[in-house]
Structure 1
Amino acid sequence: MGGAVGAVRADDGTVTDSSLSGRLLVAKNRLLDPNFHRTVVLLLDHGHEGAFGVVLNRPVDVDVDVVLPAWQEAVCVPSTLFQGGPVGLDGAIGVVTAPPGARLPGTVDRLVGPFGLVDLDSDPAELDGLVTGVRVFAGHAGWGPGQLEAEVEEGSWYVLDAESTDAVTPEPELLWRRVLRRQGGDLAIVSTFAEDASLN
């Protein structure tokens, strides 16, 4: 995946031709699919072949050490697994954040901006002092060719810039509102909407 993609219409009506890798998909209130209602998805890869990302605000009540004991002390608070999406729930994905230009070990695949994937079979001690955060996701979100573009076009998602702290926030339950609020204007107002869309 990766590279330039077909036209994607932004919320302001402009059309862009660039990859959305490294950006956030923030579910609009009208997106009622329970897999994605009020989610914030970090797009880790987006190209002609489709898109791949993880949901950042769905912690589950399972400590990381239940499946990956070595990583329990390495992950950010809350130190639980997160449900990264409805695809591949039997697999784990390690996402790291790192400063620009940081020298990372070969166990990390830097994807875009501050975000990368770490090999969860590796020793977490190799990351000491090199990364600013680690989070482990069970499953991921995936889209086939053109599918995400169609969802953006039909108005299911806001496409917004990501901050490195979004991926490892200690308060994931507040992330949807926080990301919208920091945009200012109309989106800050949307952040105050009731979760039940029929009440807005």
Structure 2
Amino acid sequence: MDDGIVVGSLLVATPLLDDPNFRRSVVLVVEHDHEDGTLGVVLNRPTEVPVDRVLPPWGELVTGPSVVFQGGPVALDSALALASVPGEDEPLGWRALDGGSDVSRVGLVDLDAPPALIAPEVAQLRVFAGYAGWSAGQLRTEIEEGAWYVLPGEPRDVFMDDPERLWQAVLRRQGGDLAFVATFPDDPSLN
């Protein structure tokens, strides 16, 4: 049962998805199991909250914009971080996303670890409040209903300087019909 979803792939909201939690969102899959379901983080929802206000020790390591991102509607009172690590080593406090995708040098950071432990190894870091989650089979159903495109992720997606433009950028680089979807207006009724 291959649904095309692997850790490191992107779930890109189609224009049909109007749930305000996911409208025009780009979700990085961080865990996927056919029995347990899928977890991901929304990459393009920066908040106004500076990281150093909620996690002061991590503020200096964050890649701009230096704010907390809303990773999804689940567990907004918890935080997780993603970091890119150059080279082949796996530093303490960091676990690579292991899906065989192009984001293999992006991983989850243990925010309970001392930042000084991982700081010399991190090239980029971003903090997310909450996550997106789907029970077993739920995401597959949403994909079949036309809510999501499943696309390959790239390391630059996680740390894009202008995250509000990520939805268009990911679609545009696909070419063909999906590049055309990137031009879909925010409100088609105004056309």
Select which of 67, 70, 73 maps to 1:83.
70
Q: CA RMSD in A?
A: 1.5
Aligned AA (1:188): A
1:177 aligns with 2:168: yes
The answer on whether the counterparts of 1:28 and 1:158 sit within 8 Å (CA) in structure 2 is: yes
Runs of 4+ in structure 1 displaced over 3 angstroms? Answer: 197-200
**TM-score under structure 1 length normalisation:** 0.87
Residue of structure 1 in register with 2:91 after alignment: 105
Residue of structure 2 in register with 1:168 after alignment: 159
1:69 aligns with 2:92: no
1:57 aligns with 2:44: yes
The answer on whether the counterparts of 1:30 and 1:156 sit within 8 Å (CA) in structure 2 is: yes
Runs of 5+ consecutive residues of structure 2 not aligned to the other structure? 99-103
Q: Shift of residue 132 of structure 1?
A: 2.4
The answer on whether the counterparts of 2:70 and 2:130 sit within 8 Å (CA) in structure 1 is: yes
The answer on whether the counterparts of 2:92 and 2:118 sit within 8 Å (CA) in structure 1 is: no
Does the residue aligned with 2:174 lie in a helix, a strand or coil? coil
**TM-score under structure 2 length normalisation:** 0.91
Does the residue aligned with 1:51 lie in a helix, a strand or coil? strand
**Which whole-Å CA distance do the structure 2 matches of 1:78 and 1:45 have between them?**
25
The answer on whether the counterparts of 1:29 and 1:197 sit within 8 Å (CA) in structure 2 is: no
More helix by share: 2
Alignment of 1:1-200 (within 5 A): 6-8=1-3, 16=4, 19-48=5-34, 49-99=36-86, 102-112=88-98, 113-199=104-190
- Number of residue pairs matched? 185
Residue of structure 1 in register with 2:101 after alignment: none
**Which whole-Å CA distance do the structure 2 matches of 1:77 and 1:68 have between them?**
15
**Which whole-Å CA distance do the structure 2 matches of 1:91 and 1:194 have between them?**
33
The answer on whether the counterparts of 2:92 and 2:117 sit within 8 Å (CA) in structure 1 is: no
Does the residue aligned with 1:29 lie in a helix, a strand or coil? coil
Runs of 5+ consecutive residues of structure 1 not aligned to the other structure? 1-5, 9-15
Identity %: 54
Does the residue aligned with 1:151 lie in a helix, a strand or coil? helix
Does the residue aligned with 1:182 lie in a helix, a strand or coil? helix
Spell out, residue by residue over 1:146-198, the C-alpha distance to the aligned partner (whole angstroms, 9 max, x if none).
00111111110011110001111111011000000111111111111101244
